[in-house]
Amino acid sequence: MKVAKFGGSSVANAEQLKKVANIIRNDSERKAIVVSAPGKRFSDDTKITDKLIEIGEAYVENKSYAEPLQFVLDRFQEIATELNISNQIVAEVREDIECTLQSSDSDALKLDAIKAVGENSSAKVLSAYLQSIEVHASYLNPKDAGIFVSDSPGGAQVLDESYDHLLKIREHKGIVVIPGFFGYSKDGKLITFSRGGSDITGSIVAAGLQADLYENFTDVDSVFCVNPTIVDQPKEITSLTYKEMRELSYAGFGVFHDEALIPAFKADIPVCIKNTNNPEGMGTIIVSQKEPQPNPVVGIASDTGFISIYVSKYLMNRELGFGRKLLTILEDEDISFEHTPSGIDDLSVIIRESRLTKEKEERVIARIKEELDPDTIYVERDLALIMVVGEGMDSTVGLADKATHAFTRADVNIEMMNQGSSEVSMMFGIKSDKVDAAVRSLYQAFFEEN
């Protein structure tokens, strides 16, 4: 039994949805289908989810949301017409949106419910289309599927009891089509996962059904060893371990949500990334263990938008509790951190810029000054992190040397370096404007000069 998730690019229009239906029809093992909201049809198109967010935000700010609403309705109308299914769906989308906006829920809950309209409608469209071509399929709402999550809008975490509920889907007749990206809190409120979260739903459903395989269909033939928008036609990765993929997706491989690996990993279900436009291709398989590879490095991921809070104080190493106190100040402000490279008398905390508002930054800096009395404190902006990842790295000599040569060749200054304790990764912090040049040079060093 397989669970297949189709991302936004796979359900972006009628043509793509027909490919999806063919894939479903071609393998009777595909029991549960998870779908995203219609995504981009071309590079500067807009995702339905982004338009839904515009609607929600305009409503909250008392502005007109007529334009984004019309955009969403037109997209579903076009899809319904081209698939030759009832355009009842368009009326339902409008009603879903209007009912949500008029509800007495908080703005955060309203925004989550609006965001979810894309996935919900997409699942209804696909199941109606499958039925129209005589495939035995039905739409299943996450509440009826039993996907229960924490009460944290925009950042849901699945509750363990969901897995027992989901197991019952095995007894459903025919194929079930479940919208991705959201679940329900115990008091019945719709809560979404973080952006890109349909991958998470797919993994949860696969774990719940105790599937043999979780297939994640997207618009590329495989996971590449670097982001294909930075390096043209990079090498494909045929197999990866969960650990490697988690590090790579966390560090910027947008092809698969980093939180989506955990449910599949815990249930030991292999994950296969495949292309809706080329379903016969091998794709990339993610498993718990793989054969040792000649190249110890499997991929290089990068992401921008980080800042570093640098703190130094003479004899910091002797001051018991310095690090704890610093991190407590961040915790009090509800700021999570990514890394903490340290020296004898200094410590940096790397944070995603999006987590630190101007007001929070001022409070944090003032408290560090007052409570920790540092010699120096400053905030460095526009940082990018690059992660070089591979299970074989712990037993290979000279990798850091190779990496630093690559940075030198690209004329990129390394602001910080950190070898993950697991030795599955090496992290480098550099200025954001140099990130593409650095990644290209690292790609050359690790994948072209071997």
Ligand X SMILES: N[C@@H](CC(=O)OP(=O)(O)O)C(=O)O
Ligand Y SMILES: Nc1ncnc2c1ncn2[C@@H]1O[C@H](COP(=O)(O)OP(=O)(O)O)[C@@H](O)[C@H]1O
- Are 240 and 313 in contact by the 8 Å Cβ rule? The answer is no
The site partner of 195 among ligand X, ligand Y, none (C-beta below 5 to 8 Å per kind) is ligand X
> For 47-116, where are the alpha helices, taking DSSP H only?
48-60, 66-83, 88-102, 107-115
Question: Which residue of the chain is nearest ligand Y when measured via CB?
Answer: 7
Q: Which amino acid is at 88?
A: Q
* Annotated binding residue 164: no
Question: Which residue of the chain is nearest ligand X when measured via CB?
Answer: 8
* Annotated binding residue 218: yes
Toward ligand Y, which CB reaches closer, 230 or 406?
Answer: 230
Q: How far is the CB of 38 from ligand X (least distance, A)?
A: 9
- Are 57 and 310 in contact by the 8 Å Cβ rule? The answer is no
Q: How far is the CB of 229 from ligand Y (least distance, A)?
A: 5
The site partner of 197 among ligand X, ligand Y, none (C-beta below 5 to 8 Å per kind) is ligand X
- Are 123 and 35 in contact by the 8 Å Cβ rule? The answer is yes
* Annotated binding residue 5: yes
* Annotated binding residue 7: yes
Q: Which amino acid is at 417?
A: M
Collapsing DSSP states into helix, strand and coil, what is residue 5? strand
The site partner of 47 among ligand X, ligand Y, none (C-beta below 5 to 8 Å per kind) is ligand X
Q: How far is the CB of 104 from ligand Y (least distance, A)?
A: 33
d(CA 382, CA 430): 9
Q: How far is the CB of 51 from ligand X (least distance, A)?
A: 10
Toward ligand X, which CB reaches closer, 39 or 153?
Answer: 39
Toward ligand Y, which CB reaches closer, 13 or 210?
Answer: 13
Residue 351 CB coordination number (10 Å): 24
Strand 236-237 and strand 223-224: pairing? antiparallel
d(CA 197, CA 200): 5
The site partner of 181 among ligand X, ligand Y, none (C-beta below 5 to 8 Å per kind) is ligand X
d(CA 141, CA 98): 19
Q: How far is the CB of 353 from ligand X (least distance, A)?
A: 19
Toward ligand X, which CB reaches closer, 49 or 308?
Answer: 49
The site partner of 118 among ligand Y, ligand X, none (C-beta below 5 to 8 Å per kind) is ligand X
| Binding interface with ligand X (CB under 6 A) | 7-8, 36-37, 39, 47, 49, 118, 180-181, 195-199
Provide the 8-state DSSP code for 182. E
d(CA 219, CA 6): 10
| Binding interface with ligand Y (CB under 6 A) | 7-10, 36, 39, 196, 218-220, 223-224, 226-229, 253-255
Toward ligand X, which CB reaches closer, 189 or 195?
Answer: 195
* Annotated binding residue 63: no
| Residues 6 or more apart whose Cβ sits within 8 Å of residue 440 | 230, 231, 410
C-alpha angle 369/370/372, rounded to 5°?
A: 70
Toward ligand Y, which CB reaches closer, 47 or 124?
Answer: 47
Collapsing DSSP states into helix, strand and coil, what is residue 188? coil
Q: How far is the CB of 192 from ligand X (least distance, A)?
A: 8
* Binding-site entries: 5-8, 49, 119, 218-219
